[in-house]
Chains A and B, each alone.
Chain A
Amino acid sequence: MGATGLTYAILMPSGFDPAELLAQHKTGHIVALGLRFVASGDAWCEFAIDYDRRLVSDANSGILASGPIVSLMDTAAGFAVWAKRGGFKTQATLDLRLDYLRPSRPGHAVTGRAECYRLTRRIAFVRGLAHDGNPDDPIAHLTATYMVLKDEA
């Protein structure tokens, strides 16, 4: 096998590196919420959020509000679309639906994983699940679509 550099370039699964993109941003909603990048693949991405008493819906119960879970899942879903598209390209959330299957347990980190299971020229379709420790016992289910926009040259 000659031309190893070229071979490596072809074998690179995706031109999108979430960790590199996040490293360029020191402010913004992802940083403010404390969302942590966990892992990603060709068409999926996983983020997590540590338990934080400022993010609860009720000081008495200590249950995490649904809002941070939406941000977690919208972020994981957007990154899944970038992974599928192979780069940090322009896109916009068209709609999202979250089903709250059960409350998350106070004190537990929440992990959200989203997968872009279909990409057309205009629309990306995404689904995902959030859990608080056991992926087989999810706390929330996401379906979302994103408008895929052409970047101006």
Chain B
Amino acid sequence: MSDVALLPYADFLGIRIEGERDGAPLLVMPFSEGLLNLQGGIHGGAISGLLEIAATAAIDATLEEGEDPRSLFKPITVTVDFMRPGLPKDVYACGQVVRVGGRIANVAVSAWQDDPDRAIAAARMNLAITPPTEK
């Protein structure tokens, strides 16, 4: 697994890389008041943001040293399922690269709080791959 730099938006959410899980970066979004929705849970948008950042980190980790992931991968679609309410505490997420083809990369990603087997949300993200020659 190569070193991965998270997006500036990850800093805004307080997200950091906590370690590694099944060969992909394990991310944590520490709880803060700025993540709450009006009903006192973690905002679905913040959870989705964490899922996208974890998916992006998983795909970035497949790259060779020196390649620029942000000019290579562009998000096309993200589909998020919410299974459990996001409680006011830390959220973890880790992506699994399903396939990196010639034009498209597919990533699956899930988020949890206490137990990795009890996901609070999961997403699939499809990204377009721009070969360096087409830039």
**What residues make up the interface of A, taking CB atoms closer than 8 Å to B?**
21, 25, 27-33, 53-61, 65-68, 70-75, 78, 88, 90, 92-100, 103
Q: Is the CB of B8 within 8 A of A70?
A: no
Top 10 nearest A-B pairs (CB, nearest first) are A71-B45, A67-B49, A32-B34, A65-B9, A29-B43, A58-B70, A93-B44, A70-B48, A74-B45, A97-B79
B residues adjacent to A (C-beta < 8 A): 7-9, 11-13, 33-39, 43-46, 48-49, 52-53, 70-71, 74-82, 85
Question: What is the CB-to-nearest-CB distance from A112 to chain B, in angstroms, rounded to a whole number?
Answer: 11
Inter-chain CA distance A25–B8, complex, in Å, is 26
Are B7 and A65 closer than 8 Å at their CB atoms?
yes
B82 touches A99 (CB 8 A): no
B80 vs chain A, min Cβ distance (A):
5
Q: How far is the CB of B131 from chain A (nearest CB, A)?
A: 18
Contact at B48–A71, with CB atoms within 8 Å? yes
Q: Is the Cβ of A29 less than 8 Å from the Cβ of B52? A: no
Given contacts A25-B38, A94-B81, A96-B44, contact A54 B11 (CB under 8 A): yes
Give A72 to B44 CA distance when docked, in angstroms: 10
Nearest-neighbor residue (CB-CB) of A67 within chain B: B49
Whether the pair A100, B36 counts as a contact (CB closer than 8 A) is: no
B45 and A57 within 8 A (CB): no
Q: Which residues of B contact A97 (CB under 8 A)?
A: 77-80
Contact A67 B52, CB 8 Å, known A29-B43, A75-B45: yes
Instruction: Give Cα A28 to B46, complex, Å.
Output: 11
A-side contacts of B48, CB under 8 Å: 67, 70-71, 74, 96
Contacts of A90 in B (CB 8 A): 39
For B43, what are the chain A residues with a Cβ–Cβ distance below 8 Å?
28-30, 71, 74-75
